[in-house]
């Protein structure tokens, strides 16, 4: 975290924090418990995030953003950095595009990352939320925001579940219009 463990930031992530702990996960911070979030702490936090990762996927980010800072730490740490390419006219694509020019691996499908890292085993422990997402997508194409609203879940939790379902090749993004089940 970019703050101490007694100062969850942003505040709306408090339930996510509690769920991580409840399910046996770990939340770490290099700061004393009562330190408040400070913008200068986040780049330092990003070096820990990249250090704990097998690889880093950059989906979007401006040229100078937390995302590109994390990727640069990843390069320094010898991590694999993967990027999804963007239009040259997209401000949020300047980060991934510049990282690709610096040696990041261009990817367009989650399967490419799994194969590159040599981890072909399926992700286990499918959750009730993943079943709920699949049920919603049976007859509809929905965005992440629509799924989060219908399931009354945070967008960060839905992002995690969607990523897992994509890696398992159960759903895919449909031309930027939303997600659908792969038939």
* φ/ψ (deg, to 5) at 64: -115, 95
Instruction: Tell me, rounded to whole angstroms, the distance of Cα 63 from its chain centroid.
Output: 18
- If asked whether residues 105 and 134 sit together in one domain, one would say no
- Averaged pLDDT for residues 106-129: 71
Lowest-pLDDT choice from 14-23, 103-112, 149-158: 149-158
Return the ∠ at Cα 69 (arms to 103 and 74), rounded to 5°.
50
Q: Is residue 47 part of a domain?
A: no
Residue 139 maps to which CATH number?
Answer: 1.10.10.10
What share of the chain in percent tops pLDDT 90? 42
What is the tally of structural domains in the chain?
Answer: 3
Q: Is residue 141 part of a domain?
A: yes
- If asked whether residues 32 and 63 sit together in one domain, one would say no
Whole-number pLDDT of residue 31: 94
Whole-number pLDDT of residue 121: 46
**Entry pTM:** 0.63
d(CA 127, CA 2): 28
Give the range of the structural domain holding residue 133, as residue numbers without chain letter.
128-181
Please write the tens of the pLDDT for every residue from 63-105: 888 889 999 999 999 999 999 999 989 888 999 999 999 999 9
> CB within 8 A of 160, min separation 6: which ones?
none
Peptide bond into 178 cis (omega under 30): no
Please write the tens of the pLDDT for every residue from 32-73: 999 999 999 998 899 999 998 889 999 998 888 888 999 999
Whole-number pLDDT of residue 164: 79
Q: Is residue 122 part of a domain?
A: no
Indicate whether 162 pLDDT > 90.
no
Question: In b/e form, how buried is each residue of 32-47, taking b as 16+ CB within 10 angstroms?
Answer: eeebebeeebbeebbb
What share of the chain in percent tops pLDDT 70? 94
- If asked whether residues 63 and 104 sit together in one domain, one would say yes
Whole-number pLDDT of residue 38: 92
Please write the tens of the pLDDT for every residue from 79-90: 999 999 999 898
Q: Which of these three, 63, 85, 117, is where a domain ends?
A: 117
> Which residue has 């990003």 as its token pair?
46
- If asked whether residues 26 and 82 sit together in one domain, one would say no
Indicate whether 132 pLDDT > 50.
yes
- If asked whether residues 111 and 144 sit together in one domain, one would say no
Q: Is residue 171 part of a domain?
A: yes
């Amino acid at each position: 975290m970019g703050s101490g463990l007694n100062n969850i930031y942003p505040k709306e992530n408090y339930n996510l924090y509690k769920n991580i702990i409840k399910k046996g996960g770990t939340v770490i911070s290099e700061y004393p418990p009562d330190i408040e979030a400070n913008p200068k702490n986040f780049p330092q936090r990003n070096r820990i995030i990249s250090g704990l990762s097998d690889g880093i996927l950059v989906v979007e980010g401006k040229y100078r953003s937390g995302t590109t800072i994390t990727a640069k730490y990843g390069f320094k740490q010898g991590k694999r950095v993967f990027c999804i390419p963007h239009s040259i006219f997209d401000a949020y694509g300047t980060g991934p595009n510049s990282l690709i020019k610096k040696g990041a691996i261009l990817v367009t499908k989650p399967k490419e990352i799994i194969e590159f890292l040599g981890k072909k085993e399926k992700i286990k422990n499918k959750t009730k939320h993943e079943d709920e997402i699949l049920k919603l997508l049976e007859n509809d194409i929905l965005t992440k925001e629509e799924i989060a609203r219908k399931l009354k879940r945070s967008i960060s939790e839905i992002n995690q579940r969607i990523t897992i379902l994509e890696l398992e090749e159960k759903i895919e993004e449909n031309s930027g219009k939303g997600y659908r089940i792969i038939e």
